[in-house]
Structure 1
Amino acid sequence: CTSRKTMARASTCPPRPACDAPPPAALPRGFRHTRSRLVASGWPRHRGRDLFARPEGPQWAIAKFAYGPQDDDLEGEDVKAYLLRGCSGAWERLGTFRTSDDDRPHPTAEGIPDTGGRVYLDLTAGRRLDVGRHRVHFAVAGDGTSADLFIEVLPPGARVAVTDVDGTLTSSEVAVVGELFGGAPPAAHPGAAEAMRALADSGIHLFYVTARPEWLVGSTRAWLRRQGFPPGILHTTIGVTGAFGGAAAHYKTIELGWLKARTGIVPSFGFGNMPSDVTTYTAAGIAPSGCYYYKLGGDLRGGVHHDDYRALAPALFSPPAACAP
């Protein structure tokens, strides 16, 4: 987990697949329920839950469908699901599934309780994914609105780097708030994307963990892509308000506990900018020498203080022993 000497990129892993093939066209056919038409009068806030998995372990595709500022659930409606296996080739039709009702919830899966408006798709039932990166696309049959998620199935020996987003990668801790009220999208810290790409070039999988609310999954993923960050797995909280301070540390600790329980992996690197990140990475067992804190003072518990990703990026690269499929 220690810093590496600056090296020429003579041997790097190829870029992770963009997974950007256009999904099948969705032709709206109308909703099953009158109430759904009222719910869908708000703007769509649908979101899929990215996941790391193992070839032999559980593999779920989980998505939430909701609309408007109150995050009203779309319940009892049909959703079509498609799979882009390995992020290449043709889309596979997985079937049509009905969103859940919170009065008859689906059992919790991957730590995601059913509060209504969700689809839980068990991919191990004849659809198991091999090692690699995959995309699942959901389209609401009623109006054609959609949500996507990504699943990375990890091989033995895979390494992961975890990073916070707000203030760690973005220009400020609260930059996203201005964007929500019509302001410009936040900038990224200079060199932050290059630092994350140095890790990806070394064969390391990226885990973006933010305490933002769940309905910001789509805009967060789009921001990472626009700013040039490498593809990875993105997790937010599963609530509508997000988490702060001690609650954020608790949430992130649970996320890294999930990663270890599901894959056996403790991240090799951790990036943050708040005391809650120090607490989280220490509790998760990340080696202090692999923890980097942007412009954070105080007790870093052996972690590394830095104030310039541009200086950090070359030291993060190491010739890969193996590359992610």
Structure 2
Amino acid sequence: MRSAPLVPLALAALSFAACAGAPRRVAAPAPPREGACPARPACDAPPPAALPRGFRHTRSRHVASGWPRHRGRDLFVRAEGPQWAIAKFAYGPQDDDLEDEDIETYLLRGCSGDWERLGTFRTSDDDHLHPTTEGIPDTGGRVYLDLTAGRRLEVGRHRVHLAVAGDGTSADLFIEVLPPGARVAVTDIDGTLTSGEAAMVGELLGGAPPAAHPGAAEAMHALAGSGVYLFYVTARPEWLVGSTRVWLREQGFPPGILHTTIGVTGAFGRAAASYKTIELGWLKARTGIVPSFGFGNMPSDVATYTAAGIAPSHCYYHELGGDLRGGVRHDDYRRLARALFSRPTACAP
């Protein structure tokens, strides 16, 4: 059974807070603009009831004594291409893998109707690793579910819920099946949407959750209302995907696809820029899409978006000086929101 090196104390504290913290107030969604596309579904239906039936292995009970850090991988896909549900199951500050254990899986097709049971699947172990899929290498404790083996997902937003049979803990992921001609906006989170590059650290140590820049959620809603899909890309560690998704919802940001790094420590500096470049390369390879808009706050974001081929005039950098390579510096999302909205010629299903 593999376990990751001990992560910094602050990161472990956030993991605990993310799992055990009390629910916080959810910001009211931005009012829709006249002529705007309908909002993407929140997909927040209660999950199927968990029915723990115990673990297959004695060692798993020991692993599960730590708090759960399970996470699912959101994906953009095409209706005619590969469609995967990928998740990782691990516990505790050392991210101990849950290996060779049963995972019950369910699908909320189109974010509406009843949950469909997809079946029981076994997490991987060191002797039975899955080939790297959608850029996600198997290090144990993962589930790879080929959704094309059943009825394919149609254009729209979908949610997969995966529950550990042993104790009922769970992870979720979201899949956005894009229509032809879809437009995507990519945005960094820390320092770009949050009040500072290290805004999360205060929450790690027991403080209030970081605030979003005033008007940042409104700006993202302006794009969503114009028919643009949101791609939130952060160099945070993979196990923070759940708490990051909660933060976006609580701050009033529209639903989107959220990607973190795959590692347990995240990425910084050049490593973060390399990670984001890989993510945008994955988006283009999988869907053929170069984002129509990019949002950042660091020189590395400028380099990443330029290399990806995003039009410089549609790249917006919050309070960033220096050479923006034709990008736009801004310091007020509220003004930017008014400029970003355009009446869509068509809205996706």
Which among 312, 317, 320 is matched to residue 336 of structure 2? 312
Residue by residue over 1:226-277, the C-alpha shift from the partner in whole angstroms, topping out at 9 and shown as x without a partner, is 0000000000000000001110000000000000000000000000001111
Paired residues of 1:204 and 1:324 also in contact (CA < 8 A)? no
Q: Distance in 1 between matches of 2:163 and 2:279?
A: 27
Does residue 104 of the first structure (1) align with residue 93 of the second (2)?
no
- How much has 1:179 moved relative to structure 2? 1.3
- How much has 1:128 moved relative to structure 2? 1.1
Q: Distance in 2 between matches of 1:44 and 1:23?
A: 17
Does residue 211 of the first structure (1) align with residue 235 of the second (2)?
yes
Q: Distance in 2 between matches of 1:93 and 1:237?
A: 29
Corresponding residue number in structure 2 for 1:80 = 104
Q: Distance in 2 between matches of 1:80 and 1:26?
A: 9
Does residue 230 of the first structure (1) align with residue 254 of the second (2)?
yes
- How much has 1:103 moved relative to structure 2? 3.1
Which among 196, 199, 205 is matched to residue 220 of structure 2? 196
Indicate the SS of the match to 1:222.
Answer: helix
Which among 136, 143, 148 is matched to residue 172 of structure 2? 148
Paired residue total: 318
Q: Distance in 1 between matches of 2:59 and 2:34?
A: 59
User: How much identity, in percent, do the aligned residues show?
Assistant: 87
Structure 2 gaps of 5+ residues are: 1-31
Residue by residue over 1:147-195, the C-alpha shift from the partner in whole angstroms, topping out at 9 and shown as x without a partner, is 0000000000000000000000001101112212222110000000000
Paired residues of 1:134 and 1:150 also in contact (CA < 8 A)? yes
Corresponding residue number in structure 2 for 1:276 = 300
**1:58 partner letter:** P
Does residue 287 of the first structure (1) align with residue 311 of the second (2)?
yes
Structure 1 gaps of 5+ residues are: 1-7
Q: Distance in 1 between matches of 2:239 and 2:302?
A: 26
Indicate the SS of the match to 1:124.
Answer: helix
Within 5 Å, give how 1:250-265 maps onto structure 2: 250-265=274-289
Indicate the SS of the match to 1:198.
Answer: helix
Residue by residue over 1:93-121, the C-alpha shift from the partner in whole angstroms, topping out at 9 and shown as x without a partner, is 00000000033210110000000000000
Which among 145, 148, 156 is matched to residue 124 of structure 1? 148
Q: Distance in 2 between matches of 1:322 and 1:220?
A: 30
Does residue 296 of the first structure (1) align with residue 320 of the second (2)?
yes
- How much has 1:322 moved relative to structure 2? 1.8
Q: Distance in 2 between matches of 1:10 and 1:69?
A: 47
Corresponding residue number in structure 1 for 2:74 = 50
Indicate the SS of the match to 2:36.
Answer: coil
Corresponding residue number in structure 1 for 2:139 = 115
Does residue 134 of the first structure (1) align with residue 158 of the second (2)?
yes
Runs in 1 of length 4+ with deviation above 6 angstroms?
none
Q: What's the TM-score, normalizing by structure 1? A: 0.97
Paired residues of 1:289 and 1:304 also in contact (CA < 8 A)? yes
**Root-mean-square deviation over aligned CA pairs:** 0.9
